[in-house]
Amino acid sequence: HKKIIIAIDGYSSTGKSTMAKKLARQVGYRYIDSGAMYRAVALYALRHGMADTGGSVDEARLTAALPGIAIDFKVTPDGQRTMLNGEDVENEIRSMTVSQAVSPVAAVAAVRHAMTDLQQQMGREKGIVMDGRDIGTTVFPDAEMKVFVTASAETRARRRFDELKAKNMNAGYDEVLANLRERDHIDETRAESPLRKAADAFMLDNSDMTLDEQDALLLRIFNERT
Ligand code: C5P
């Protein structure tokens, strides 16, 4: 079998990362969470007063700081950890604070260029499943398998709310729904590589699908492509 690139894009909290991780495990590929990379940049910007939870970003300072922001993933027995300048920030990047700052940070052109370069390097040898917003359109426009995932905003907010509750990270359902809508809007309307379905991506609305049905579908598409 030849190795391919699998791009899984779509809206927040559609379960993209869960399905991407599972697919990667089943086919023996590496999973890469591109959203975690933007979250790590947002955390850096928050810590250095270059961004806040109200959505403002100091683009000039953040752009100048980029060469000093090293992001990578550490593989551990319980999964991958996102590393920011050598520090494990995996838990912190999932907080509501980071969720509120990330989309404006991810809209900064220089941030996108730096992350896109890094993602392309990670995919040089193929055999990866990468999830995000612009993987099939901008990062790997030639990816052999592209999936665009969507579900209703309420379904997604409920999933995200349950996930945060399970981790004891408190946030109200309404706050989660509002944050999700706000991020969708920023992601869809930014000038630089906005969130949209690639023409050749398979559209997957999983509002009414079981995880098993979804996994079977992805494996079927994978087998057709390899
Ligand atoms: O996937 P996740 O929800 O963790 O991503 C967090 C945010 O990072 C998104 O809302 C989006 O603003 C940004 N992002 C992006 N491009 C990607 C992945 C994530 O702009 N490829």
| Selected residue with higher pLDDT from 152 and 147 | 147
Whole-number Å distance, alpha carbon 190 to ligand 1 midpoint, is 12
Pocket probe mutation, ligand 1, options 38, 112, 187, max atoms within 8 Å of Cβ = 38
Burial 151-175 (b: 16+ CB within 10 A, else e): bebebbbbbbbeebeeeeeeeeeeb
Does residue 79 surpass a pLDDT of 80? yes
Please give the average per-residue pLDDT across 126-153, as a whole number: 97
Q: Which of 95, 99, 108, 115 lies closest to 37, judged by CA?
A: 115
pLDDT cut 90: percent of the chain above it: 89
The CA 32 to ligand 1 mean position distance, Å, reads 12
The protein residue whose alpha carbon is closest to atom 1 in ligand 1 is: 35
Compare 169 and 25 and report the one with higher pLDDT.
Answer: 25
Q: Are 7 and 145 spatial neighbours (Cβ–Cβ below 8 Å)?
A: yes
How many Å lie between the centroid of ligand 1 and the Cα of residue 38?
A: 6
Q: Give the C-alpha distances (Å, rounded to integers) separating 29 from 71, 88, 118, 164, 222.
A: 20, 23, 18, 27, 12
pTM: 0.94
165, pLDDT greater than 80? yes
Q: Is the pLDDT of residue 218 over 80?
A: yes
Q: Contact, 150 vs 203, CB < 8 A? A: yes
Query: Which two three-digit tokens encode residue 137?
Result: 């359109």
| Mean pLDDT estimate for the chain | 95
Local confidence band at 171 (pLDDT 50, 70, 90 cut-offs): confident
Residues present in the chain in total: 226
C-alpha–C-alpha distance, residues 125 and 93, integer Å: 28
At residue 226, does pLDDT exceed 80?
yes
The closest residue, in CA terms, to atom 3 on ligand 1 is 12
pLDDT at 168 over 90: no
Q: pLDDT category, 177, cuts 50, 70, 90?
A: very high
